[in-house]
Chain A
Amino acid sequence: MKDREIDDLLEKAARAPQGVNPELLERVAATIRPSLQPVRPLPATWILAAGLVLICAAVALAGAARAGFYGIAKMDLFERLLIFAALAVFALVAAVQFVGELIPGSRRRVSPGVLLGFGSLALLGVFGLLFRDYHTDQFVHAGLVCLFAGVFHAIPAGLVCWWLLRRGFAVNSVAAGFVGGTLAGLAGVTLLELHCANFEALHILVWHTAVVPVSAAIGALVAWALHFRASHRSSLRAKL
């Protein structure tokens, strides 16, 4: 049997009429009528994405202003250009993806996992290229301080980003949380690059980069918990 024949068979079967109870349609129309007010569509993707990137940059700059710009002061021009350009590109891609996750039927360019994987690999590549001091001093202690500082700044960035997109609707809340967490994590990494003057290669490769996946995991977990709670409440309401 050829594909054409299967096509014909499916199309013939799909054409068979299958009506919907007209009373049901009337009921639906009557239900929505009282709340039918004009609504303002969401702004264009690029506006929202630019807003998200600005929020992340603002959170990172505010954090660094409070803690000190020691990292960026120690970098040379080439290091500054490469690191912040990589972070900006990653943040822009993540922002576009995050906006897409909150608008049903949006084109998905990459999956959340691929975004995190490729983005983290790109950051590792840039850090690996620029930092060659493989000596370590207080690797775990200094690393945990940076990881916590990064995640600590990712949380407000994530919350403000979520506030900006509060009118959106996630058809897959875990994926949206994951991508939002990835984006917020980049605010944390940016803060660390601005502030942290520890240029040991392993410290930056492990602990600075780890902020992104940790933040993505937190975002996914929070989104799952919120969705589960909302779903549980609605099933309880349905039972009553």
Chain B
Amino acid sequence: MVPDQILETLMARYQAGDFSAATALIHRISPQLHRFFVAQFASREDADDLLQETWLRIHKVRHTYRPGEPVLPWFYAIARHVRVDHYRRAVRTSAREQQLDDFSGLAAKFPADAAEPDAFETLLAPLPESQREVIEMLKVGGMSLEEVARATSSSVGSVKQKVHRAYKKLRETITSRGLAKAQRGGLP
């Protein structure tokens, strides 16, 4: 059985009230959802909270999955909704409590602290959020363009465009990083 079919079977059993299927799904899907949250520059603690919140939401709306439909876009669409909601709430709270002007500026500080220069999250750091999530779904989630389009409520054409722009930006960043390294290496 291919992984998608396994997930579909587990999902159907989860809907039928099978606790072992629910546990299996939690263990299979959580690592990539967690990574999805970390890639969006959430701290690991935030990612843990978001993961927990996502599973509660998934549990609440599990009847909206229909057997035969792709499973991953369904999971990611809900995870994406939870993340957006979380940041909106965080922005409101921060605005009230700290009078922060721009939350995205705060979020963008994360990659500077990242220790691993070739870590996935660091590589994606220069990309805007919409491109980052698409690359993350394709590479970590292993989803097809069609599935990413479903998860992000957009068209396949729009996903392709985002991937194209992301690769262009990554190419520029990696090339300039390589040049900077070479220059540093050339210094006595």
- Whether A9 and B123, one on each chain, are in contact in the complex, defined by CB atoms closer than 8 angstroms, is yes
Chain A residue nearest to B14 in the complex (CB): A36
- Whether A105 and B151, one on each chain, are in contact in the complex, defined by CB atoms closer than 8 angstroms, is yes
- Whether A104 and B120, one on each chain, are in contact in the complex, defined by CB atoms closer than 8 angstroms, is no
Known: A25-B26, A39-B15, A171-B80. A10 touches B66 (CB 8 A): no
Q: Report how far A21 CA is from B56 CA in the complex, Å.
A: 17
Q: Report how far A103 CA is from B151 CA in the complex, Å.
A: 11
Distance in Å: Cβ of A78 to nearest Cβ of chain B: 36
Interface residues of B in 120-136 (CB under 8 A from A): 120, 123, 135
Q: Report how far A14 CA is from B140 CA in the complex, Å.
A: 6
Task: Type the 1/0 row for B15-43, where 1 means its CB is closer than 8 Å to any CB of A.
Answer: 11101001100110011001100100000
Cβ of B110 within 8 Å of any chain A Cβ, yes or no, is: no
Cβ of B165 within 8 Å of any chain A Cβ, yes or no, is: no
- Whether B70 and A105, one on each chain, are in contact in the complex, defined by CB atoms closer than 8 angstroms, is yes
Cβ of B4 within 8 Å of any chain A Cβ, yes or no, is: no
Cβ of B69 within 8 Å of any chain A Cβ, yes or no, is: yes
- Whether A167 and B64, one on each chain, are in contact in the complex, defined by CB atoms closer than 8 angstroms, is yes
Chain A residues with CB below 8 A from B118, complex form? 9, 12-13
Total A residues in contact with B, Cβ cutoff 8 Å: 51
Identify the interface centre among A41, A42, A102: most chain B CB within 10 Å of its CB: A41
Chain B residues with CB below 8 A from A25, complex form? 26-27, 30
Chain B residues with CB below 8 A from A24, complex form? 30, 48, 51-52
Cβ of A145 within 8 Å of any chain B Cβ, yes or no, is: no
Task: Type the 1/0 row for B139-178, where 1 means its CB is closer than 8 Å to any CB of A.
Answer: 1100000100111011100000000000100110011000
Cβ of B109 within 8 Å of any chain A Cβ, yes or no, is: no
Other-chain contact of A32, B22, B67, B151 (Cβ < 8 Å): B22
- Whether B66 and A42, one on each chain, are in contact in the complex, defined by CB atoms closer than 8 angstroms, is yes
Identify the interface centre among B27, B64, B149: most chain A CB within 10 Å of its CB: B64
Chain B residues with CB below 8 A from A31, complex form? 52, 55-56
Chain A residues with CB below 8 A from B123, complex form? 9-10, 13
Cβ of B108 within 8 Å of any chain A Cβ, yes or no, is: no
Known: A25-B26, A28-B30, A175-B153. A41 touches B67 (CB 8 A): yes
Known: A6-B174, A9-B123, A14-B139. A104 touches B74 (CB 8 A): yes
Chain B residues with CB below 8 A from A19, complex form? 31
Distance in Å: Cβ of B79 to nearest Cβ of chain A: 10
Q: Report how far A106 CA is from B35 CA in the complex, Å.
A: 23
Chain B residues with CB below 8 A from A107, complex form? 146, 149-150
Task: Type the 1/0 row for A94-113, where 1 means its CB is closer than 8 Å to any CB of B.
Answer: 00000000111111100100
Q: Which 4 A/B pairs are nearest by Cβ-Cβ distance? A: A105-B73, A105-B74, A104-B77, A13-B120
Additional 6 contacts, C-beta under 8 A, given A104-B78, A172-B81? A9-B174, A18-B34, A25-B26, A27-B52, A28-B51, A35-B59
